[in-house]
Structure 1
Amino acid sequence: MSGKNERILIIDDDGFIRMALTEAVSSWGYETHAAESIAAGTKAFEEFEPSIALIDVELPDGSGIDLLKKLKEANPELVAIIVTGNVDVAHTVAALRAGAHDFIGKPVRLEELEVTLRNAVETRKLRREVKAARRERAVALTFDEIIGESPAMQKAKELARRVADSDVNSILLQGETGTGKDLFARAIHFASDRAKAPYLAINCAALPATLIESELFGYEKGAFTDAKQRKEGLFEQAHGGTIFLDEIGEMELPLQAKLLRVLENGVFRRVGGLKDIKLDARIIAASNQDLKRAGEDGRFRSDLYFRLSVIQVDIPPLRERGEDVMLLTELYIARVNIKRKQKPLKGLTPEVERIFRTYDWKGNVREL
């Protein structure tokens, strides 16, 4: 079994037990840290940032159950396992009410502990997946579902397909409003080896800079007035997956600088945090602006543009896609007819077809 990426904090006042548990848990592939009291455990929790904690009930400076409550308040995502020499109903109920995932009796049997930890890891993984799924509500999308047979659209889809299969960690989608940049981002994600991990999106034009920063980076408890507890940002929630930064051209320059450092160094810190966290997510950025020109005008960081545009997919406007206008029109008429209670629509009159083919479509597919 591999405990890669999982940190386990062991809190027990018995030095021999701490040593034995640390040695066993480390041998199973977990990163471990041990503490002998509530005070030491609290300090280690803040510095070590464990995902799982093994907590003895009876500690020299207080109750392990009280410590459990405190740690769960600071990080509700923590998976806690109570270790006790007195497995009775009262202790069990108190531990479960305090938020314990499970409990183990002393003397600790290593075979039982290994299974319990494996279950704890799976529980944490499932919680993260459910949380991400609720947030993203992303529907799987393939490139075949993006309608378009024009040479310009085929060229864009082919490049996007190749990018999806690559190990490139940052991609720029450039196109006018309404051209389908969000569809391309989702298709790239679901065509990649990251498809089973979260796909999370944020619109940089819809939120103020301070909120975008806390949404992306997360924050520590007490980082600002309303930070009542630690929160994971999208950089953490999207672990192994994809983050879609829509309308990145609207992001303020100071935040652009912070994003650039993340892309260059592959690590980030929560707002108010002191510890570097490794980034494992593909960044797909999109803009309806000419970011190269915006960089020359000082409205967008040129170094961030060059970092993002190593692979740039240009999505053509509808007016340059020829007969795709009619393909899309037929699709939308078919969709309307599914819901329509009156006589089905047969299609467009020749005059309307002529207008559609020559219309400028400034709003692109969204306008259609």
Structure 2
Amino acid sequence: MSTTERRSRIEALGAFLPAGSQTSEELRAEAPGLGDADVERITGIAERRVHDPDPAAGEDSFGMALAAARDCLAASRHRAADLDVVISASITRVKDGSRFHFEPSFAGMLAGELGARPGVLSFDVSNACAGMMTGVWLLDRMIRSGAVRSGMVVSGEQATRVARTAARELTDSYDPQFASLSVGDSAAAVILDESTDPADRIHYIELMTCSEYSHLCMGMPSDRGQGIALYTDNKKMHDRNRLKLWPRFHEDFLAKNGHRFADEEFDYVIHHQVGTRFIDYVNQTAEAEFGTPMPASLQVVERFGNTATTSHFLTLREHLRGNGLPRSTGSAANRDHGRDHDRDQGRSGARYLMVPAASGVVTGALSATITNARV
């Protein structure tokens, strides 16, 4: 196979979800500044998973990432010693209880814990909630170039740390920390290797950063007290002009290759799991921009909240495992879409579109047909 013909595929997926959970009503009760604001109605999130703060539970960012990586390897055809590269994409690099950890890299430590061969290539990436997507973009390019044959992208997110800060500090539902109440804790891992079948392949993955909007969502130490905080201008982050960035970028990319969105015949779309209203709104915006119904939209946000870098791959894994994902649909035509989606949920050979929406602002598209992914 020549270099120009190499492609990657999603070979296996793994995840870890803490056993602890918190409903939106329970979280609202911890936020006296909210008054009677209905967090579940505003976000569409009923509950989210919450890590155990006891260091012995091993549910810091590193511990959850390690559990997800082991889960992924348990499903995979590959062993840890087969991997040519390990990439970590966590935003919340918490290890040993509550310490933010920067060196040595999470990826290097994870590779060692997993039993990867000595000296295996490993590195961390940081790109807000597009971190895992960025890691997959890099790994896909490495496989296409022939530099590696297989690798893992993994992330663990102790995201509810910002929710606790917000509950203490926000003053009303318009407070810039309100979006912090939507997050949940989780970890996810994905193994990519070389594709030998067009029916089991990442067709393309393209990303774009629009720094003009970088100030609209910022994570940093709280400016009101102790703790990590997230400040988001929800109105501007989710306005129609910003939501048009993805469909216009994707449309331009397809046009350069002589295609239209309708030609892609996607079976499913997975958006960043920000909230149910956001997902519905971005689908409606995209339908108007593309001039065609959107595919069935998969989501786990109602049960798990916004799980940051892990959201797309957690949603995909839940879907492939047949865990009865709720699906939003933009129109009557979309609900049919020429396919019986209720019958075909998780079927082999389905074509998936993943669309990141991250602070930065980062958008883009990953297109993949999945036939033999192990979960």
TM-score of Structure 1 vs Structure 2, range by shorter chain: under 0.3
- TM-score, normalised by the number of residues in structure 1: 0.23
- More helix by percentage: 1
Higher RCO by CA contacts (8 Å cutoff, separation 6 or greater) = 2
- TM-score, normalised by the number of residues in structure 2: 0.22
- More strand by percentage: 2
Which one has the largest radius of gyration? Answer: 1
